[in-house]
Structure 1
Amino acid sequence: MKKRISLFLMIFFSVIAFGQKTVSGKITDEDGVGIPSASVTVEEPGKDAILAYGITNSKGEYKVTFTSGESNVDLKVKAFNQRPLTKQISNSDQTLNFKMEGEATEIKEVKLKTKMVTARGDTISYDLKAFDSKSDRTLADVLKKMPGIEVNTDGTILYQGNAINKFYVNGKDLMEGGYGTINNSLPKDAVQKVEVLENHQPVKILQDKVPSDQAAINIKLKNSVTMTGRGEVGVGGSPLLWNVKLTPMFFGQKSQWVVNYKSNNNGEQVENEGNILSFGNRFEGRRINATQNDWLNVENASTPNLPVKRYLMNSVHYVSANYLTNIDKKKEWELKANANYTNNAVERQSYTQYDFFATTDTPAYSVLQNTYNNFYTDKAKGELIFTKNAKKGFFKNTTSFSQYWNADRGTVDRFSTKSAVKSYGAEALESPTTSFQNSLSTIIPWKEKMVNVLSYISYQTDRQTLNVSPASYLTIPGFLPTSTDFVSQNLRLKTFEANHSANIGFSTKGWTFTPEVGFNFKSTDLVSNLANIIINPFTNPNAIPASQYSNDLKYTTATPYGSLGVNYKSDSWMLYANFPVNSNNIKAEDPLRSVSKELNKVTFEPSIFAQYTFASFWKASVNANINNNFGEINTAYAGFLMTSPSGISVMNPNNPIPQNNNKSAGTRLEYRNPLNNLFFNINYRFSDAKRNLISNPIIINGYTAMNYKVQDNSVLNNGYSAEVGKYFPKFKTNASLSYSNNTSKSDAFLNNDSYTNKNNGQSYGVKFNNTYFSWMSIDYNASITRTKQTSTGKVSTNATTTGFKHNLGVFFYPIENHTIGFNWDQINSTASATDQKYHNGFYDLSYQFTWAKKKIDFELKWMNIANKKVFENYEITSTYTSFTRVQLRPSQVMFTVKFNFK
Structure 2
Amino acid sequence: MLIWCWVSVLNAQMILTGTVKDEANKNLSGATLTISKDSVSSILAYAISKSDGSFKIRIDNAPEKLFIKASYIGLTTFKKILERKSQELEIQLRPSSEELKEVVVKSEIIQRRGDTLSFSVEAFKDKNDRVIADVLRKMPGITIKPGGQIYYQGKPIQKYYIEGLDLLEGRYSLANENLAADDVSKVEILENHQPIRVLDSLEFSERASLNIKLKNDVTLSGTAKLGLGATPLLWEANVTPMLFNKKRQFIASYQSNNTGKNVANQVRDFSFNPGGSTYDIAKTDWVSLLNPATPPFSQDRWLDNNVHLASANGIQRLKSDLDLKLNLSYLNDYQQQQGSTQTTLYTPQDTVSISEVLDNRLFIKNVQGKATLEQNTKKNYLKNQLEFNTYRNTERGMLQRTDAAIAQHLSTPFYGFKNNFDLYKTFGKQLVRFSSNTGFSESDQFLRVRPGQFEDFLNAGNPYAESLQNITSKKLYTDNSAGMTKMLGKFTTTLKLGVALQKESLTSDLVLDDSDTPLGNAFQNDTDFKTSEVYLKQSWRFKNTSETWNIRLGVPVAFKAFDLEGSNAQALDAFVFEPSVYIQHKLAAKWELSISGNLDYNFGGLERLYPGFILTNYRNLQRYNAPILEQVTQNYSTSLNYRNPIKRLFAKASYSYGKTKNNLLFGSQIDPNGTSILEAVVRDNYANSHRFNVEASKYLSRLNTSLKLNASYSISEREQLLNATLVKNENTNFNLNGSLESELSAWLSLTYSGSLMFYNSKLNNSELQQLNTQQHNAEVFFYPWENQYFSLGGEYFKNSLTEANRNYFLNLSYQYTFTKRKIDLKLSWNNMLNTENFINASSSEFYIIQTRYVLRPSQVLASVSFNF
Pair in the same fold by TM > 0.5 = yes
Q: What's the offset of the Cα at 1:423?
A: 1.7
Aligned match for 1:754, one of 709, 726, 729:
726
Aligned match for 1:458, one of 439, 444, 469:
439
**Contact 2:42-2:114 at 8 Å conserved across structures:** no
Assess, with a 3 A threshold, how the Cα gap between structure 1 residues 808 and 28 changes in structure 2: closer, same or farther. Answer: same
Equivalent residue, structure 2, for 1:4? none
Equivalent residue, structure 2, for 1:658? 629
Q: What's the offset of the Cα at 1:709?
A: 1.5
Q: What's the offset of the Cα at 1:65?
A: 11
**Structure 2 matches for 1:58-207, cutoff 5 A?**
58-59=57-58, 77-78=70-71, 86-87=75-76, 99-100=90-91, 114-207=107-200
Equivalent residue, structure 2, for 1:439? 420
Aligned match for 1:733, one of 705, 708, 728:
705
Q: Does 2:398 align with 1:408? A: no
Q: What's the offset of the Cα at 1:169?
A: 0.7
> Which whole-Å CA distance do the structure 1 matches of 2:142 and 2:845 have between them?
36
> Which whole-Å CA distance do the structure 1 matches of 2:596 and 2:610 have between them?
37
* SS in structure 1 of the partner of residue 112 of structure 2: strand
> Which whole-Å CA distance do the structure 1 matches of 2:803 and 2:809 have between them?
20
> Which whole-Å CA distance do the structure 2 matches of 1:661 and 1:479 have between them?
40
Equivalent residue, structure 2, for 1:641? 614
> Which whole-Å CA distance do the structure 1 matches of 2:721 and 2:278 have between them?
37
Assess, with a 3 A threshold, how the Cα gap between structure 1 residues 636 and 791 changes in structure 2: closer, same or farther. Answer: same
Assess, with a 3 A threshold, how the Cα gap between structure 1 residues 885 and 197 changes in structure 2: closer, same or farther. Answer: same
Assess, with a 3 A threshold, how the Cα gap between structure 1 residues 839 and 98 changes in structure 2: closer, same or farther. Answer: farther
> Which whole-Å CA distance do the structure 2 matches of 1:218 and 1:366 have between them?
52
CA offset digits 1:214-237 (Å, max 9, x no partner): 111110000011111111100110
Q: Does 2:264 align with 1:271? A: yes
Equivalent residue, structure 2, for 1:559? 533
The amino acid across from 1:632 in the alignment is G
Q: What's the offset of the Cα at 1:307?
A: 1.4
The amino acid across from 2:834 in the alignment is N
Equivalent residue, structure 1, for 2:486? 506
CA offset digits 1:638-693 (Å, max 9, x no partner): 112111111111333xx211110000010111111112111111111000011011
The amino acid across from 1:29 in the alignment is G
The amino acid across from 1:863 in the alignment is N
**Contact 1:301-1:372 at 8 Å conserved across structures:** no
| Aligned residues between the structures | 818
> Which whole-Å CA distance do the structure 2 matches of 1:476 and 1:26 have between them?
85
Q: Does 2:761 align with 1:803? A: no
Equivalent residue, structure 1, for 2:580? 607
Q: What's the offset of the Cα at 1:176?
A: 1.1
> Which whole-Å CA distance do the structure 2 matches of 1:121 and 1:803 have between them?
43
> Which whole-Å CA distance do the structure 1 matches of 2:282 and 2:511 have between them?
27
Q: What's the offset of the Cα at 1:763?
A: 1.3
**Contact 1:442-1:454 at 8 Å conserved across structures:** yes
Q: Does 2:558 align with 1:589? A: no
CA offset digits 1:327-347 (Å, max 9, x no partner): 12xx21100001000000111
* SS in structure 2 of the partner of residue 730 of structure 1: coil
Aligned match for 2:300, one of 279, 287, 309:
309
> Which whole-Å CA distance do the structure 2 matches of 1:875 and 1:321 have between them?
39
> Which whole-Å CA distance do the structure 2 matches of 1:513 and 1:297 have between them?
47
Q: Does 2:864 align with 1:892? A: no
**Structure 2 matches for 1:199-278, cutoff 5 A?**
199-278=192-271
Assess, with a 3 A threshold, how the Cα gap between structure 1 residues 527 and 151 changes in structure 2: closer, same or farther. Answer: same
**Contact 1:37-1:55 at 8 Å conserved across structures:** no
**Contact 2:775-2:795 at 8 Å conserved across structures:** yes
Aligned match for 1:549, one of 496, 519, 523:
523
**Contact 2:66-2:81 at 8 Å conserved across structures:** no
* SS in structure 2 of the partner of residue 30 of structure 1: strand
**Contact 2:586-2:593 at 8 Å conserved across structures:** yes
> Which whole-Å CA distance do the structure 2 matches of 1:26 and 1:383 have between them?
45
Q: What's the offset of the Cα at 1:531?
A: 2.8
Equivalent residue, structure 1, for 2:338? 349
* SS in structure 2 of the partner of residue 223 of structure 1: coil
Equivalent residue, structure 2, for 1:771? 743
> Which whole-Å CA distance do the structure 1 matches of 2:422 and 2:64 have between them?
37
Equivalent residue, structure 1, for 2:796? 826
> Which whole-Å CA distance do the structure 1 matches of 2:214 and 2:536 have between them?
45
Equivalent residue, structure 1, for 2:3? none
> Which whole-Å CA distance do the structure 2 matches of 1:222 and 1:501 have between them?
43
Q: Does 2:397 align with 1:397? A: no
Cα RMSD after superposing both structures: 3.0
Assess, with a 3 A threshold, how the Cα gap between structure 1 residues 850 and 56 changes in structure 2: closer, same or farther. Answer: closer
**Structure 2 matches for 1:253-402, cutoff 5 A?**
253-282=246-275, 291-328=282-319, 331-357=320-346, 359-360=348-349, 363-402=350-389
Aligned match for 2:590, one of 581, 596, 617:
617
* SS in structure 2 of the partner of residue 273 of structure 1: helix
Q: What's the offset of the Cα at 1:209?
A: 1.0
CA offset digits 1:235-284 (Å, max 9, x no partner): 1101001111110000011110000111001000001211112324446x
**Contact 2:326-2:371 at 8 Å conserved across structures:** yes
Q: What's the offset of the Cα at 1:564?
A: 0.7
More deviation, 868-877/233-242: 868-877
Equivalent residue, structure 1, for 2:655? 684
* SS in structure 1 of the partner of residue 770 of structure 2: strand
**Contact 2:554-2:579 at 8 Å conserved across structures:** yes
Unmatched runs of 5 consecutive residues or more in structure 1: 1-24, 43-49, 67-74, 103-110, 416-421, 538-543
Assess, with a 3 A threshold, how the Cα gap between structure 1 residues 837 and 710 changes in structure 2: closer, same or farther. Answer: farther
> Which whole-Å CA distance do the structure 2 matches of 1:880 and 1:160 have between them?
34
> Which whole-Å CA distance do the structure 2 matches of 1:414 and 1:343 have between them?
31
> Which whole-Å CA distance do the structure 2 matches of 1:480 and 1:447 have between them?
75
The amino acid across from 1:665 in the alignment is Y
> Which whole-Å CA distance do the structure 2 matches of 1:327 and 1:51 have between them?
42
CA offset digits 1:748-794 (Å, max 9, x no partner): 1111111111111111222221113000111212111111111117x
Equivalent residue, structure 1, for 2:758? 786
Aligned match for 2:507, one of 527, 530, 533:
527
The amino acid across from 1:612 in the alignment is H
> Which whole-Å CA distance do the structure 2 matches of 1:873 and 1:553 have between them?
41
* SS in structure 2 of the partner of residue 731 of structure 1: coil
The amino acid across from 1:576 in the alignment is R
> Which whole-Å CA distance do the structure 2 matches of 1:736 and 1:125 have between them?
19
**Contact 1:311-1:888 at 8 Å conserved across structures:** yes
CA offset digits 1:93-126 (Å, max 9, x no partner): 9779963489xxxxxxxx9964200111011001
CA offset digits 1:76-103 (Å, max 9, x no partner): 625xxxx66842689xx9779963489x
Assess, with a 3 A threshold, how the Cα gap between structure 1 residues 582 and 865 changes in structure 2: closer, same or farther. Answer: same
CA offset digits 1:571-617 (Å, max 9, x no partner): 21222222111111111110xx3x32111111100111111113211
CA offset digits 1:722-763 (Å, max 9, x no partner): 111111111111212221111101111111111111111111
> Which whole-Å CA distance do the structure 2 matches of 1:581 and 1:572 have between them?
30
The amino acid across from 1:123 in the alignment is T
Equivalent residue, structure 2, for 1:108? none
Q: What's the offset of the Cα at 1:302?
A: 4.2
**Contact 1:807-1:825 at 8 Å conserved across structures:** yes
> Which whole-Å CA distance do the structure 2 matches of 1:651 and 1:180 have between them?
39
**Contact 2:510-2:519 at 8 Å conserved across structures:** no
> Which whole-Å CA distance do the structure 2 matches of 1:508 and 1:94 have between them?
25
* SS in structure 2 of the partner of residue 196 of structure 1: strand
Relative to the length of structure 1, the TM-score reads: 0.86
Assess, with a 3 A threshold, how the Cα gap between structure 1 residues 370 and 779 changes in structure 2: closer, same or farther. Answer: same
**Contact 1:65-1:614 at 8 Å conserved across structures:** no
**Contact 2:561-2:573 at 8 Å conserved across structures:** yes
Q: What's the offset of the Cα at 1:486?
A: 2.9
**Structure 2 matches for 1:34-53, cutoff 5 A?**
39-40=33-34
